[in-house]
Amino acid sequence: MLPSTTFASCFLVLILCFNGVRPSSTPTRIGNGYRLISIEETHDGGILGYLQVKQKNDIYGPDIPLLQLFVKHETEDRLRIHITDAEKKRWEVPYDLLPREQPPALNRTIFLRSSKNSITVQEFSGSELIFSYEEDPFSFAVKRKSNGQTLFNTSSDESDPFGEMVFKDQYLEISTKLPKDASLYGLGENTQPHGIKLYPGDPYTLYTTDISAINLNADLYGSHPVYMDLRNVNGQPSAHSVLLLNSNGMDVFYRGTSLTYKIIGGVLDFYFFAGPSPLAVVDQYTTLVGRPAPMPYWALGFHQCRWGYHNLSVVEDVVENYKKAQIPLDVIWNDDDHMDGHKDFTLNPTNYPRPKLLAFLEKIHSIGMKYVVIIDPGIGVNSTYGVYQRGIANDVFIKHHGKPFLAQVWPGAVNFPDFLNPKTVEWWGDEIRRFHELVPVDGLWIDMNEVSNFCSGLCTMPEGRQCPSGPGPGPGSVCCLDCKNITTTRWDDPPYKINASGIQAPIGYKTIATSAVHYNGVLEYDAHSLYGFSQSIATHKALQGLEGKRPFILSRSTFVGSGKYVAHWTGDNKGTWEDLRYSISTMLNFGIFGVPMVGSDICGFYPAPTEELCNRWIEVGAFYPFSRDHANYYSPRQELYQWESVAESARNALGMRYKLLPYLYTLNYEAHTSGAPIARPLFFSFSNYTECYGLSTQFLLGSSLMVSPVLEQGKSQVKALFPPGSWYSVFDMTQTITSKGGQYVTLDAPLHAVNVHLYQNSILPMQQGGLISKQARMTPFSLIVTFPAGASYGEAKGNLYLDNDELPEMKLGGGYSTYIDFYASVSQGTVKVWSKVQEGKFALDNDWIIEKITVLGLEGSGQPSALEINANSIDGASKIGLNSLEQKYPDDIEVGDIKKSVIVEVNGLDIPIGKDFSISWKMEISRSGY
Which residues are marked as active site?
447, 450, 572
Picking from 551, 593, 540, the residue whose alpha carbon sits closest to that of residue 570 is: 593
DSSP string of 841-860, one letter each residue: HHHHHTT-EEEEEEEEEEE-
d(CA 378, CA 388): 10
Do 184 and 197 meet the contact criterion of CB atoms below 8 Å apart?
yes
For the sheet with 138-144, list strands across it.
Answer: 123-125, 129-135, 138-144, 150-153
Q: How far, in Å, CA of 99 to CA of 77, rounded?
A: 18
Question: In sequence order, what DSSP letters do the residues of 210-270 get, joined into one string?
Answer: ---TTSBTS--S-BEEEEEEEEEETTEEEEEEEEE---S-EEEEE-SSEEEEEESSS-EEE
The angle, 0 to 180 degrees and rounded to 10, between the axes of the packed helices 661-674 and 278-289 is 60
**Could you give the CA distance from residue 315 to residue 369 in angstroms, rounded to a whole number?**
13
Alpha-carbon span 507 to 493, nearest angstrom: 8
H or E, element range at 318: helix 312-324
**Rounded to the nearest 5°, which phi and psi values hold at 674?**
-135, 0
What does the alpha-carbon distance between residue 450 and residue 527 come to, in Å, rounded to a whole number?
11
Query: What is the per-residue DSSP string for 460-511?
Result: EPPSSS-SS-SSSSGGGGS--SEEE---SSTTTS-SS---GGGTT--TTTTS
Q: How far is CA 499 from CA 17, 204, 456, 570, 616, in A?
A: 10, 8, 17, 21, 34
- Provide CB contacts within 8 A for 654, sequence distance 6+: 302, 327, 328, 618, 622, 627
Which of the 8 DSSP states describes residue 299?
Answer: G
Q: How many CB atoms lie within 10 A of CB 842?
A: 19
Quickly list DSSP for 876-895. Answer: TTSS-EEEEEE-B--TTS--
Contact 36, 138 (CB under 8 A): yes
Enclosing H/E stretch for 554: strand 553-555
Rounded-to-10 torsion of CA 324, 326, 330, 331? -40
745 neighbors 755 (Cβ within 8 angstroms): no
Q: Is 390 helix (H, G, I), strand (E, B) or coil?
A: helix
Q: What's the distance, Cα to Cα, between the start and end of the chain in Å?
A: 58
Q: What is the DSSP string of 109-123?
A: HHHHHHHHS-----E
Beta-bridged to residue 694, according to DSSP, are none
Own/partner contacts of 336-339, CB < 8 Å, gap of 24 or more, are: 336/1, 336/307, 336/374, 336/376, 336/410, 336/473, 337/307, 337/308, 337/309, 337/310, 337/311, 338/373
* Per-residue DSSP letter, 292: P
Q: Report DSSP state, residue 173.
A: E
Beta strand 627-629 with 302-304 is parallel
Helix (H) or strand (E) holding 909: strand 901-912
Query: In whole angstroms, what is the distance from residue 678 CA to residue 670 CA?
Result: 8
Distance CA 341, CA 385 (A): 11
- Residue 716 is given by DSSP the state S
- Three-class HEC string of 734-781: CEEEEECCCEEEEEECCCCCCEEEEECCEEEEECCCCCCHHHHCCCCE
Nearest to 901, CA basis, from 921, 876, 929: 929
